[in-house]
Amino acid sequence: MDVEILSRIQFAFTVAFHFLFPPLTIGLGLNLVVMSALWLKTRNPLYHNMARFWTRIFGLIFAIGVATGIVMEFEFGTNWATYSRFVGDVFGSPLAIEGIYAFFLESGFLAILLFGWDKVGPKTHFFATCMVSLGAHFSAIWILVANSWMQTPAGFHLAKKVKVTPDGVEHPYSAQLEPGTFELKEVALPDGYILQTEDLDSIRAVITDFWEMVFNPSSMDRLAHTIIACWITGTFLVISISAYYLLKRRHIPFAKASMKIGLTIGTIAVLLQLWSADSTARGVSENQPVKLAAIEGLAESTTEAPLGIVGMVTWDKDEEGTIIGINEHSIKVKGLLSILVSGDFLNPVEASKTEVKGLNQLPPDEFLLARYPGATPEELKKIRPEYWPNVPVVFQTYHIMIACGMALIGISLLGCFMWMTGKLWQLDWKLTRWFLVILVFSVFLPQIANQAGWFTAEMGRQPWVVYEHLKTSQGLSEAVRAGQVLFSLILFAAIYFLLFLVFIFTLNNKIQHGPSDDITGKNLPERWRAIMMKGGRQTES
Amino acid sequence: MDLNTIWFILVGVLFTGYVMLDGFDLGVGALHLFTKGDTERRTMLNAIGPVWDGNEVWLVTGGGALFAAFPEVYATVFSGFYEAFFLLLFGLIFRAVAIEFRSKHPHSMWRKGWDISFACGSIASAFLIGVAMGNVVWGIPLDTNHEYTGTFLTQLNPYSLFMGVSTVALFAMHGNIYLIMKTEGELQEKLRRWVKITIPIFVVCFLIFGILTPFVCPQIKAAFIDRPIPLIITFTLALLVVANIPREIHKGREFNAFLSSCGCMTFLMMTFGISVYPNMVFSNPDLANSLTIYNGSSTDKTLGFMLIIAIIGVPIVLTYTACVYYIFRGKVVLTDESY
């Protein structure tokens, strides 16, 4: 295998593993804020107990999130050095801002959240909880801004570095001049300049407008979509563990109260997600039509475009094995995709006449002709598939995400219904027990949806690393060989596998141990005040 | 002063913050296996418990700032030091999760395993950080496009390896002093005895290093001839604060000793910065291909904008970092929340 595929596997693997944890902490953090607020308001020791228990779970997940997160930041440099050089001027700033404004906030207040129970007053502790949650959200925001810029680049232009000698003559960047006899200058290139591989030594993306970069066309949609997904992920952990306790008839008041909070946040979030998903998909249709055609497996441009529910897409290849198109077999609803793309749900008949571009027309001829001037229509047809993502995979990951999302909506609404009718607490009733079993396993649904959605977004972007500017294959490190990547990949696989086993073992330990049910004087507000008077020293309990 | 120089200093400040803060918790890791008994080890872990995570953020932010301000340097160094950086990352991962996992199960094999993982991860991280610094001073082979042309073995030159060993010694001493500050009783007595070993080891490394560097690194020698006064000042200051450490320890003023140790790191980093400026990575053997703060930087627009971000952000960060250290001041006491 070559460096490109190995580096892609490594990046995908390390991101996917890391991406199991931050959504949990972001969502769990939100739940912690609600629980702490309830404790602060009611002073009911039950809420205090809840906050403490869920904080312990939070701490465990957070630690692995941090440990695996550092990897991501350095992998841009280690495996994608050419990419890093090309985009550093634009892409580095959100990462640096994430460090200064999110990580410090998160980790600083995390100390108070985890270890500060007896050191600071309840209000300060609540404040720390809010700050940790805020930091986690900031972190997601900046990383998604950076990622969205790769999907829909904005606020920059391409610039060529040249060497200028004192007599004003511009030499190419590759010219061998005596050090000190020239100055570096960047010459802006015209819009629509098409990057050649040999340009990569001297051409890079240069920022022109920071806020335009931040609010690039896909930022807000993708932010909303991902953050709501995080809320759902963390909340369903709360729901799942609470359902487990209810099934086992352990810590029942605790589990009931946690379940109520979880179901409330979860239901609101899944419904919000429905709205956000629609907006995100519409954004994709506008900014990345190739991606939309790929995720829906749409071959020909058409009006009344159908929406696939479940099915299969395969490559259509000629005798030599070159891809010439796709074969699509799926159960679909005619016209629904057109309606979704137009966004005009009130006039469905009118809306279904919206044309949706298919892969056989995408990317459009002008795009290809700019890269291959004078190509004949037959040649264009042959070249076109090189600009498609891996359609069979993207189609499936997208539909897995949608299926998980729909299942989550169903489960949440049913859960709320059973809660409202009181059936959810009738632990002897067989149907309730079945539903609780479903709730226990529902924790996997948001995780699967997250991973599938992430793969859809990132694989749907291929073959580009910076959409329609830099190809993934052009972004690799020139100094790195396949053997080195293979070595690191094998180590990652081994270490992450071990980590995951230990994580599951430890998480299970914590769940089995459960919350401490003793609601004693220790947790009462008077006690807090007494400890506050003692200043910084911890006291033996 | 131009923006490039300001960012050279700012990135330097971030990495100094990192070695000063994560330095002591890596040092605690280096000493971890020498203590016996669960309570002692728990005490040591809890001495860094609330702060290690925040300390590591300095590395992440330093990396982010390097990416934003000097993308060329970021790309060259990280792709060039490929194996070394992944080993560093694995070291950091292992020690981080060891801290978290160790307390979760009382079984002795479980705890012993994580103790070893914590100590080895810490020592390896400290060592590799030193080796990387050593290579930056010594120089690495770069071509005209600033691509690294050497191999992993190129980085294992004696100079850099010695820098690695010195870094472990420095962090161990730093961690030792921090622990004396955070502990009491029998463990503290033990740590006081250790400091009689950790300080001399570092001082020897430091002296060999200070004397050797100008002779073996021609580019540093050139810097010495070019700007001797600031270099002599920072180096002397480093020497003075190092000499101050045993004095403060002897008088039982651990906090001052810790400050001196922090000061030592600051002055060493300053010496390092002044002697390499305006270069960021030396190219060895062909110095003409070196990466400087000008040919490796982002545009002035990014540097300027990021400066505003930093001017607003850094004071806020320093405020709550200080708050956290203040809240968790005093000796370690093991409670329910402890590791």
Buried-exposed string A63-80: b where 16+ CB fall within 10 A, e elsewhere: bbbbbbbbbbbbbbbbbb
Q: Where are the domains of chain B?
A: 3-327
Same domain, yes or no: A75 and A180: no
Position A517 scores a pLDDT of 61
**Chain A CA closest to residue B114:** A502
**CA–CA gap between residue B339 and residue B323 (Å, rounded):** 21
The reply to whether A374 and A441 lie within a common domain is no
The shares of helix, strand and coil residues in chain A, as percent rounded to the nearest 5, are 65, 10, 25
Contact assessment for residue A52 and residue A105, using Cβ atoms and an 8 Å cutoff: no
Distance CA A60, CA A110 (A): 12
A402 and A453 housed in the same domain = yes
**Mean pLDDT (whole number) for A50-56:** 89
Q: Is the pLDDT of residue A390 over 50?
A: yes
Question: Which residues sit opposite A203 in a β-bridge?
Answer: A160
Quote the tokens at residue B19.
């070695």
Q: Is residue A145 part of a domain?
A: yes
Tell me: do A57 and A37 sit in the same domain: yes
- Tokens representing residue B196 in the block: 């009689």
Question: Best of B306, B308, B327, B338 to disrupt the A interface by mutation (most A CBs within 10 Å)?
Answer: B327
pLDDT recorded at residue A330: 80
pLDDT digits (tens, 9 = 90+) for A221-232: 999 999 999 999
> Which pLDDT score is estimated for A149?
93
Query: Is domain B3-327 annotated with CATH 1.10.10.10?
Result: no
By C-alpha distance, which of A269, A335, A262 is closest to A305? A335
Check CB contact under 8 Å for A96 and B64.
yes
Q: Please tell me which residue, A407 or A118, carries the higher pLDDT value.
A: A407
Rounded Cα distance, B297 and B293, in Å? 6
User: Measured between alpha carbons, how far is B60 from A95 in angstroms, rounded to an integer?
Assistant: 9
C-alpha–C-alpha distance, residues A158 and A148, integer Å = 18
Name the one residue in this structure whose structure tokens are 């109520």: A260
Task: Give the closest residue to A236 by CA, choosing from A420, A76, A409, A115.
Answer: A409
Span A51-70, mean pLDDT?
A: 88
Residues 6+ apart with CB under 8 A from A528: A121, A122
* Residues in B touching A111 (Cβ below 8 Å): 49-51, 53-54, 324, 327-328
In a domain, A533, yes or no: no
Of A328, A260, A330, nearest to A298 by C-alpha is A328
For residues A484 and B150, what is the distance between their CA atoms, to the nearest angstrom?
Answer: 13
Q: A330 and A262, same structural domain? A: no
Report yes or no: B51 at the A interface, CB cutoff 8 Å: yes
Q: Is B272 on the interface with A (CB under 8 A)?
A: no
Closest CA–CA distance from residue B331 to any residue of chain A (Å): 7
Residues A269 and A411 in one domain: yes
Taking alpha carbons only, the member of A6, A7, A8, A12 closest to residue A496 is: A12
Domain that holds residue A115: 1-150+474-518
Token pair listed for B54: 């925040």
Residue A73 contacts residue A96 (beta carbons within 8 Å):
no
Residue A29 has pLDDT above 90, yes or no: yes
CB contact under 8 A, A495 and B93: yes
Under 8 Å between Cβ of A294 and A395 = yes
Q: Which residue in A60, A207, A537 is closest to B100 by CB distance? A: A60
Distance between CA atoms of A159 and A102, rounded to whole angstroms? 31
The per-residue pLDDT of chain A, averaged, comes to: 85
Return d(Cα B173, Cα B176) in angstroms, integer. 5
Q: Average pLDDT per run of 10 along chain B, which is 339 residues long?
A: 89 91 91 85 86 87 90 90 89 88 84 90 92 87 82 85 92 91 85 88 88 83 85 89 87 87 91 87 82 86 89 89 86 77
**Residue A54 · residue A35 · CB < 8 Å:** yes
Q: Given CB atoms, is B282 within the 8 Å cutoff of chain A?
A: no
Residues A3 and A52 in one domain: yes
Tokens representing B11 are 């990135």
In 3-state terms, what secondary structure has residue A376? coil
Residues, chain B: 339
pLDDT at A64 over 80: yes
CB contact under 8 A, B301 and A207: yes
What region does B177 belong to: left with phi over 0, alpha with psi -120 to 50, or beta? alpha
* C-alpha closest to that of A86 among A175, A12, A161: A161
Contact of B267 with B235, CB cutoff 8 Å? yes
pLDDT score of A526 more than 60: no
A534 occurs within a structural domain: no
Phi then psi dihedrals of residue B241, to 5 deg: -70, -35
Residues A31 and A59 in one domain: yes
For chain A, say whether B48 makes contact (Cβ under 8 Å). no
| pTM exceeding the 0.95 threshold for the entire prediction | no
DSSP-derived letter for residue A424 is G
| Nearest-Cα residue of chain B relative to residue A107 | B54
Neighbours of A507 (CB within 10 A): 17
State whether B65 and A99 contact (CB < 8 Å): yes
* Better-predicted residue by pLDDT, A236 or A424: A236
- Which tens digits make up the pLDDT trace of A431-456? 888 999 999 999 999 999 999 999 99
Q: Which residue carries 């680049």 as its tokens? A: A153
Query: What pLDDT score does A342 carry?
Result: 80
pLDDT at A523 exceeding the cut of 50: no
Residue A123 is predicted with a pLDDT of 87
- Flag whether residue B57 sits within 8 Å of chain A, measured between CB atoms: yes
Contacts of A112 (CB under 8 A, 6+ apart): A119, A120, A124, A125, A128, B50, B324, B327
> CA A335, CA B185: separation in Å to the nearest integer?
77
What mean pLDDT do residues A126-155 have? Answer: 92
Among all chains, which residue has been given the structure tokens 């292992």?
B94
* Those residues with Cβ within 8 angstroms of residue A417's Cβ, 6 or more apart along the chain or in another chain: none
Residues A408 and A513 in one domain: no
A190/B122 Cα distance (integer angstroms)? 50
Phi and psi torsions of A172, nearest 5°: -60, 155
Give B140's DSSP letter. B
Residue A346 has pLDDT above 70, yes or no: yes
**C-alpha distance from B307 to closest chain A C-alpha (Å):** 10
Q: Please report whether residue A176 resides in a domain.
A: yes
Residue A533, pLDDT above cutoff 70: no
Q: What percentage of chain A carries pLDDT values higher than 90?
A: 30
Residue A180 forms part of a structural domain: yes
Q: Are residues A404 and A260 in the same domain?
A: yes
Interface A:B, Cβ pairs < 8 A: 246
How many other C-beta atoms can be found within 10 angstroms of the C-beta atom of residue A190? 7
Give the DSSP letter of residue B294: T
Nearest Cα residue to A26 out of A14, A16, A18 = A18
Cβ under 8 Å to A: B residues 122-151: 144-145, 147-149
Question: Taking a C-beta distance cutoff of 8 angstroms, is the pair A446, A232 a contact?
Answer: yes
User: Quick one: pLDDT at residue B26?
Assistant: 92
How far apart, in whole angstroms, are the C-alpha atoms of residue A152 and residue A214? 11
Could you tell me which residue, A422 or A61, shows the higher pLDDT? A61
Does residue A342 share a domain with residue A423? no
Task: Identify the pLDDT of residue A158.
Answer: 86
Domain count, chain A: 4
Q: Are residues A66 and A136 in the same domain?
A: yes
- Checking if the pLDDT of A522 tops 60, the result is no
